[in-house]
Amino acid sequence: MSKKVKDQEMSFKFIWTPKNVVMNILKWILIVFFAVYTLFPLIWLVITSLKTNAEYFANPFSLPAVPQWQNFTNAFTQANLGQMIWNSVTVAFVGTILNVVVASMASYAISRFRFRGREIIFAAFSAGIMVPLNALMVPYFTIFSKIGLIDNLMSLRILYASIGLPISMFIIRGFMDAFPVEIEEAAIIDGCGFYGRFFRMILPLVKSGLVTAGTFQFITCWNEFVYANLLTSSPKLKTIQIGIRYFTNQFTTDYVSMYAAIVIAIIPSILIYAIFQKNVITGLTAGAVKG
């Protein structure tokens, strides 16, 4: 893939007009500005996680005199991050798959078919994005204690899949809407049924939308803390976000260990993001044609 991209870059003939040069410089200023701006937090985080707390208090922007690699081993062993990462991985994967499957089915029904109440249903779903979820601790706790899933990771999987539904449906429907109905009508003439069109036609077409919604959903699952803390109590079932907060107590916070834990915690999500997004590239054709 990367080779192919390179070939395209090579074949593209750059014409040295003043306008093109200025545009090119502008483009690269933007690209570099955003790269520096968005990399800044990560770089700061990594540097700070290698300092001592005393150094951090003295100056948050200084470099560590001696890199404190043990902050990472401390974070990993003290907070038992290994188990927590594994729990988060299973929660996030199941929560994401469940979410995307349910959301794409519902989006298909709403996006492609006219039936009474569909816009009302969709508006209701969308309004769900507005719900301040942290105000629902009592009802959510009640639901899960009634179905007997307190202190069970399945409660988090179901909850995360559900609370992410409005956003996922919103995104996926947006992608489905972008395809004109005519494509499907052609398939109907070819004798393709409801399920066939969904699985063989629409899903592959909106793959990039599914991946996008899935990426966001994964990160939502990965970063959720309030309900992970509320609905589980056994040490074995703690998730990574609880691990990050292992170093913040009522009156004291061990900042450097916390930052080390945060650095560890973001590695899996960056990996997932990169892997997911790699799948989207295949469809990207805009760069293939340059003017």
Partner 1 sequence: MKKSSKKLIALISTVVLSVGMFAGCGSSATEETDSSNDGTTKEETGKTEEIALTFPCIWVGSDSKAEVFGKMVTDFNTEYEGKYQVNIEEQTDYDAYEDKIRTLISTGTAPDIFTVKSFADIQLFAEAGNLMDLSTFFEDSAIGDRFITGVLDDTAIDGKMYAMPYENAIIPIMYNNKLMEAAGVTELPGSFDELWDACDKLKGTGVFPLSEMTGDNAWTSMLWYSYAVAACGGADVYDKGLEDPAFVEAAEILRKMFDYTSSDAIGADATVVNGHFFNERSAVYTNGTWILGRIKSEGVAGLYDSLALSGGLSNDGENGGAYLNAVQAYICAGKQEDPAKEEAVQAFMKFITEKDKIVELTNSSGSLFAVSVDSTEITNTLQAEIVKQSADAAFTIRNFNAAMPTAVGNAFPSALEELVLDEITPQEFVETLQKAAE
Partner 2 sequence: MKLRKGESLGVILFLAPALLLFVMFFIYPIFNVVGMSFFNWNGITDPVFSGFENYKDIFTDKVFIRSITNNVIWALAACCVQVPLALLMALILSRKPRFWQSFRTIYFLPQVISGIAIAMLWSAVFNSEFGMLNGLLKMLGLGKFATNWLGNPKTAFACVLIYGLFYIGYYMVIMMAGITNIDESYYEAAKVDGASPIQTAMHVTVPLIRYSVHTCITLAAIFGLRTFEQVYLLTNGGPANRTSLVVLYLYNQMRDNNYGGANASSVILIVVGAIVIVSIRKMFKFEED
Residues between 62 and 101 that touch partner 2 (CB under 8 A)? none
Cα–Cα distance for residue pair 73/39, rounded to 1 Å = 24
Size of the site for partner 2 (CB under 8 A): 110
- Interface of this chain with partner 2, residues 35 to 54, rule: CB under 8 A: 35, 37-42, 44-45
Count CB neighbours of 119 within 10 A. 10
Count CB neighbours of 21 within 10 A. 12
- Interface of this chain with partner 1, residues 160 to 219, rule: CB under 8 A: 161, 191, 193-196, 198-199
Q: Please report, as a single letter, which amino acid is at residue 91.
A: V
Site string for partner 1, 85-124 (x = CB under 8 A): -------------x--xx--x-------------------
Q: Name which of 146 and 234 has its Cβ closer to partner 2.
A: 146
Residue 275 partner contact from partner 1, partner 2, none using kind-dependent CB cut-offs of 5 to 8 Å = none
Residue 214 CA to chain centroid, in angstroms?
A: 7
Q: What phi, psi does 175 have (nearest 5°)?
A: -75, -40
- Interface of this chain with partner 1, residues 27 to 66, rule: CB under 8 A: 52-54, 57-58
Q: Name which of 39 and 217 has its Cβ closer to partner 1.
A: 217
Q: Coil, strand, or helix at residue 156?
A: helix
- First vs last C-alpha separation in the chain: 22
Q: Which two tokens stand for residue 147?
A: 């179905």
- Residue appearing with tokens 């074949």: 11
Residue 237 partner contact from partner 2, partner 1, none using kind-dependent CB cut-offs of 5 to 8 Å = partner 1
Of 81, 100, 165, 230, the one binding partner 2 by CB under 8 A: 165
Least distance (Å) from partner 1 to the CB of residue 70?
A: 15
Q: Coil, strand, or helix at residue 51?
A: coil
Q: Name which of 234 and 282 has its Cβ closer to partner 2.
A: 282
Question: Longest Cα pair distance anywhere in the chain, in angstroms?
Answer: 73
Least distance (Å) from partner 2 to the CB of residue 285?
A: 4
- Residue appearing with tokens 């003017």: 291
Q: Name which of 83 and 112 has its Cβ closer to partner 2.
A: 112
